[in-house]
Amino acid sequence: MSEAAEVVRERIVRWEDPHAGAAAIRALSGLDAMRAMIAGEVPTPPIALLMGFRLAEADEGRVVFVAENPDESLYNPIGIVHGGFACTILDSAMGCAVHSTLAAGVGYSTTDVQIRFIRAITAATGPVRCEAKVLHAGRSTAVAEGRLTDGTGRLLAAGTTACAVLRP
């Protein structure tokens, strides 16, 4: 057995009731909901805690997510961060950018997402930033784009999404 195999690694994730957070968010406009998440006034979604990213900035039609250090807990069998991490942070950012344009009580659901992986992410990559912007916000559909970059601004992945706007 190699020395590396003898090192114990673990990630413990604790989260609050996601249903309570969702109820609080539905009562707010999308932009106010994003700002409440940033301020810690509503719980962080469990997926963000599990994957180690957070919402850092929000304006109408634009959000930024950051991950301080995508680490080896996200590695795939070939020794790099699994593409699902990039896809998840991009999907989250693009969806939240759409959400930031919606009125209270109006929801959304991703209908499709397209991701282009440009560079591998490893623990050595360091902090990453994912900025997403809305390209179109209509009555029944919205379209957004996102860019995932490293600390020097190098592009790691890019994506687009379409969302169905869900009105009561």
Helical residues (DSSP H) of the chain, grouped into ranges: 3-6, 18-26, 30-39, 46-51, 83-99
| Count of structural domains within the chain | 1
Asked if residue 4 belongs to a domain, the reply is: no
Q: Give the amino acid at 24.
A: A
Q: Which residue has the higher pLDDT, 150 or 7?
A: 150
Asked if residue 24 belongs to a domain, the reply is: yes
Alpha carbons within 13 angstroms on the beta-carbon side of residue 84 total: 11
Which residue carries 């590396």 as its tokens? Answer: 4
Confidence band of 7 (pLDDT split at 50, 70, 90)? confident
Asked if residue 8 belongs to a domain, the reply is: no
Q: Could you give phi then psi for residue 14, rounded to 5 degrees? A: -120, 140
pLDDT tens per residue, range 102-139: 999 999 999 999 999 999 999 999 999 999 999 999 99
Exposed, middle or buried, 70 (CB in 10 Å: 0-12/13-18/19+)? buried
Closest CA to 159 of 126, 119, 130: 130
Asked if residue 110 belongs to a domain, the reply is: yes
Average pLDDT score over residue span 1-6: 62
Q: Give the amino acid at 31.
A: L
Asked if residue 71 belongs to a domain, the reply is: yes
Q: Which residues contact 46 (CB under 8 A, 6 or more apart)?
A: 13, 15, 18
Lowest average pLDDT, out of 7-16, 88-97, 98-107, 143-152, goes to 7-16
Asked if residue 6 belongs to a domain, the reply is: no
For the cut 80, the answer to whether the pLDDT of residue 1 exceeds it is no
Asked if residue 160 belongs to a domain, the reply is: yes
Exposed, middle or buried, 128 (CB in 10 Å: 0-12/13-18/19+)? buried
pLDDT score at 6: 79
Structural domain including 113 reads 15-166
CATH classification at residue 87 = 3.10.129.10
Q: Does residue 130 contact residue 95 with C-beta atoms inside 8 Å?
A: no
Q: Against a cut of 0.85, is the pTM above it?
A: yes
